[in-house]
Amino acid sequence: MTKRSSAALLLAPVVFAQQVGTNQQSGPAATFQSSTQLVVETVVVKDKSGKPIEGLTQKDFSITEDGVPQTIRFFEYQKLPDAAAPEPPYTTPVAPYKKYPSAHISPEPPGSGKYSGKRLLAMFFDMTAMPVPDQLRAFAAAEKFIRTQMTAADMVAILMYQGGAVRVLEDFTGDRDRLMRTLETLIAGEDQGLEETAGDESASDTGAAFGQDDTEFNIFNTDRQLAALQTAAKMLAALNEKKALIYFASGLRLNGLDNQAQLHATINAAIRAGVAFWPVDARGLVAEPPMGDATRGSPGGVGMYTGVSAMQTTANFQRTQDTLWSIAADTGGKALLDTNDLARGIVNAQQSISSYYLIAYYTTNEAQDGRFRRIRISLNDGAAANLDYRQGYFAGKVFAKFTAADKERQLEDALLLPDPITELTIAMEIDYFQLNRAEYFVPLTVKIPGSELARARRGGAERTVIDFIGEIKDEYGATITNVRDKVDLKLSGQTAAELAKRPIEYDTGFTLLPGAYTIKFLARDAETGRIGTYQTKFLIPNLNKVEARIPISSVVLASQRVNLRDAIFNVKDKQNAEAVNPLVVGGEKLIPSVTRVFSKSRDLYVFLQAYERGATTQQPLYAFVTFYRGQTKAFETPPLPVIEGLDPKSRAAPLRFSISLGKLAPGEYNCQVTVLDPNAQKAAFWQAPIMLIP
């Protein structure tokens, strides 16, 4: 249960403050750039009888790119057993189940030879469109292969498309025990239910009134499935060796020409990454009655009696297999259709990767134009041989030439990276306020130094767009909610003059339940392409269980209030913003400081909520703020009586302070907020360090 309440962007004064942090870069450093691109090709050389030809050297090969000869810089022969005896059958261990940490596809360190002499097989389970019986068959096939057919040369990775995201459950490993334990975590029925519904004569007659045509939803479902394959291929691109991706799905049907763009993008990504798709139809051998089985309603209309419905059912089934065959043929794989031995599909992919030559060269074409480069590899002696290799690749692109789809994909790929990108400096604060007994409003505030965007202005840009993307996951790794936003910002006039001395601040909000979460948030300057990442864990406590003290919310420290009409806003659900966000009062929003650095020339605003559980009427509370310098009390506000303002729904009493800092000397302080309930004889304390500057 999540809800984004509001989002805003504004210019905030340079003042550096429950979850607070920043990703920062070190001082000026030398920057080296090189456009040299290493192109790696895996070449399988076989004679007329289909047997691998061994013993060839670098001098036996010639390679051209768009007709221009290239110099081979790296050459290696990878010898893999074609019919190696399987290892002893897997036996179920007696050790207790062990949960492995979240995995990702780790790139191969240069010169490590980590995957030398290994066969890389990636099992990809598309959970979104496989019914439960098909999922069980797919799991059983994977288990059979790992138990009895996996050889010492095989390294297997396990990926899953679920919940709108591609998850790497296990990186490439030859550890059978680890792979089997990962398979044990797969649950049949998860995310199932997005099967396509035909909008033709074969569709079931449900008796419902006319509504949205299901085929419109099919278009998006198919695009998402193809995009998931594209994402998986890009993940595997980090490895130079030849890779096979075994795709378990219950068919994949294109909807006319509507999915062609995504289909081409997926195939291009696989070719560029050196990935061959080996689809496996998890439905197995199907003997379907002409009018469908008992799992679906009968079609209505005259088509039932003319045979049109039966013919359309057969045609629809065939089309779902045609797409699987197409993505396999275009990437160098082969689809496994109409058989109940699904493990055979994995074995086919295994046997396709036999001995091959690894050839690499530095391309002489340094243009970063994103165009397709055609590669031709041949033997110098003209011997009769069959060479199987990638026929070309797409060159890289500079950010200035990115299309809208390229830019969106760049953000999504950056979100999947295990390591942060720190080209932009980001500071963030996450707070929480209780809305009712179950839900909490979580405002998120992000700051980016304005000097970071001044670089785009120096490049001559009059405007720039700041793209934001982020997601919140629970402690089990499941995505709870996400944010995707963009803000157009002027780089001229008064706004530009303030960039060098004022940070850009963006805020949004979510509704979450108590628990432990992880947030990953990215911002990108769309003019220069520079990205900043912020990632942290945060906890929303269950304040209903707090008995020994007064339950309080996060404490917000701020140095400014902004009128909602004066900010550079991009508001989502604006009609609910003031009603939900406790930082908005009377048309003004309190802006958290984030970095907790305050100027003596500005007042300090302190805001929090105290919750009076079970009280029918508001009980008087007293609160005060104390500043400590070391062990010495430097300043303390008079006690603030709180006798009104109790929210009848959340039982929250607001506590607001406005403190003049002019009498305090610059330096570091500990700011403590104390809340007292004299009737219940309870108290609450909060403390955090702050910095005071002239």
State both tokens at 180.
């089997």
Provide the pLDDT confidence category of residue 512 given band limits of 50, 70 and 90.
very high
Residue 457 Cα distances to 35, 48, 193, 492, angstroms: 25, 62, 49, 8
Provide the pLDDT confidence category of residue 419 given band limits of 50, 70 and 90.
low
Question: In 127-229, which ranges are E strands?
Answer: 154-162, 165-173
Provide the pLDDT confidence category of residue 27 given band limits of 50, 70 and 90.
very low
Smallest CA-to-CA distance from 392 within 415, 368, 369, 376 is with 376
Amino acid at 83: A
Q: Compute the average pLDDT of residues 26-51.
A: 67
CA distance 680 to 193: 52
* pLDDT on residue 90: 53
Q: SS3 for 34?
A: coil
Q: Compute the average pLDDT of residues 100-119.
A: 74
CA distance 482 to 469: 8
- In this structure, are residues 11 and 500 in contact, taking their beta carbons and an 8 Å threshold? no
**Residue of higher predicted confidence among 439 and 97:** 439
Residues 6+ apart with CB under 8 A from 304: 291, 298
* pLDDT on residue 91: 56
Q: In the chain, what percentage of residues exceed pLDDT 90?
A: 27
* pLDDT on residue 373: 85
- Residue 273's H or E segment, with its range, is helix 260-273
Q: Compute the average pLDDT of residues 210-233.
A: 65
Provide the pLDDT confidence category of residue 305 given band limits of 50, 70 and 90.
low
**Residue of higher predicted confidence among 178 and 28:** 178
Q: Which residue has the tokens 């492995």?
A: 100
* pLDDT on residue 138: 94
**Residue of higher predicted confidence among 131 and 20:** 131
Provide the pLDDT confidence category of residue 209 given band limits of 50, 70 and 90.
very low
pLDDT tops 70 at residue 35:
no
**Residue of higher predicted confidence among 563 and 216:** 563
Equal CATH topology for 7-26+402-693 and 119-203+213-354: no
**pLDDT (tens digit per residue) in 527-557:** 778 888 888 899 999 999 988 899 999 999 9
**Residue of higher predicted confidence among 185 and 422:** 185
Smallest CA-to-CA distance from 321 within 339, 299, 347, 305 is with 339
Distance of CA 116 to the CA centre of its chain: 30
In CATH, 119-203+213-354 is 3.40.50.410: yes
* pLDDT on residue 255: 67
State both tokens at 668.
């570091």
Q: Which of 68-82, 305-319, 404-418 has the lowest mean pLDDT?
A: 305-319
Q: Compute the average pLDDT of residues 397-417.
A: 77
Q: Compute the average pLDDT of residues 501-530.
A: 86
State both tokens at 244.
């096979």
State both tokens at 107.
């790139």
Give the per-residue SS3 of 481-507. Answer: EEEEEEEEEECCHHHHHHHCCCCEEEE
**pLDDT (tens digit per residue) in 352-382:** 887 888 898 999 988 877 777 889 999 998 7
CA distance 207 to 298: 11
Q: Compute the average pLDDT of residues 187-216.
A: 46
Residue 65 Cα distances to 331, 337, 386, 651, angstroms: 19, 36, 19, 71
* pLDDT on residue 496: 59
**Residue of higher predicted confidence among 636 and 401:** 636
- Most confident listed range (398-407, 538-547, 616-625): 538-547
**Residue of higher predicted confidence among 431 and 397:** 431
pTM over 0.75: no
Q: Compute the average pLDDT of residues 291-306.
A: 60
Provide the pLDDT confidence category of residue 281 given band limits of 50, 70 and 90.
very high
Distance of CA 693 to the CA centre of its chain: 39
- In this structure, are residues 692 and 671 in contact, taking their beta carbons and an 8 Å threshold? no
Q: SS3 for 454?
A: helix
- In this structure, are residues 130 and 189 in contact, taking their beta carbons and an 8 Å threshold? no
* pLDDT on residue 569: 42
Domain extent listing, the chain: 7-26+402-693, 38-79+357-395, 119-203+213-354
Q: Compute the average pLDDT of residues 397-418.
A: 76
pLDDT tops 80 at residue 565:
no
Chain mean pLDDT for the chain: 78
* pLDDT on residue 89: 57
Report the DSSP pairing between strands 426-430 and 372-379: unpaired
**Domain topology for 7-26+402-693:** Immunoglobulin-like (2.60.40)
Smallest CA-to-CA distance from 138 within 1, 2, 340 is with 340
CA distance 120 to 349: 10
Q: SS3 for 78?
A: strand
Q: How many helices (H) and strands (E) does the chain have?
A: 11, 35
Angle at 397 between CA 454 and CA 411, to 5 degrees: 65
- In this structure, are residues 531 and 414 in contact, taking their beta carbons and an 8 Å threshold? yes
* pLDDT on residue 214: 39
What residues does 105 pair with on adjacent strands?
Answer: none
Smallest CA-to-CA distance from 9 within 594, 395, 488, 616 is with 488
Q: Compute the average pLDDT of residues 248-270.
A: 78
**Residue of higher predicted confidence among 545 and 290:** 545
Smallest CA-to-CA distance from 123 within 132, 112, 135 is with 135
Q: Is the dihedral of CA 551, 557, 563, 566 positive or negative?
A: negative
**pLDDT (tens digit per residue) in 455-492:** 555 555 567 788 888 899 998 888 888 888 888 776 66
Q: In the chain, what percentage of residues exceed pLDDT 70?
A: 76
Q: How many CA atoms lie within 13 A of 341 on its CB side?
A: 5
* pLDDT on residue 344: 92
- In this structure, are residues 231 and 192 in contact, taking their beta carbons and an 8 Å threshold? no
Q: Which of 406-410, 413-417, 565-569 has the lowest mean pLDDT?
A: 565-569
- Residue 312's H or E segment, with its range, is helix 308-331
pLDDT tops 60 at residue 336:
yes
State both tokens at 365.
């074409």
Q: Is the dihedral of CA 102, 105, 109, 115 positive or negative?
A: positive
Residue 37 Cα distances to 19, 393, 403, angstroms: 41, 12, 21
**Residue of higher predicted confidence among 660 and 294:** 660
CA distance 33 to 31: 7
* pLDDT on residue 300: 59
Query: In degrees to the nearest 10, what's the CA dihedral of 520, 526, 530, 536?
Result: -10
**Residue of higher predicted confidence among 613 and 662:** 662
CA distance 416 to 409: 11
* pLDDT on residue 224: 80
Q: How many CA atoms lie within 13 A of 74 on its CB side?
A: 16
* pLDDT on residue 202: 44
* pLDDT on residue 272: 78
pLDDT tops 90 at residue 65:
yes
* pLDDT on residue 278: 95
pLDDT tops 60 at residue 275:
yes
CA distance 566 to 569: 8
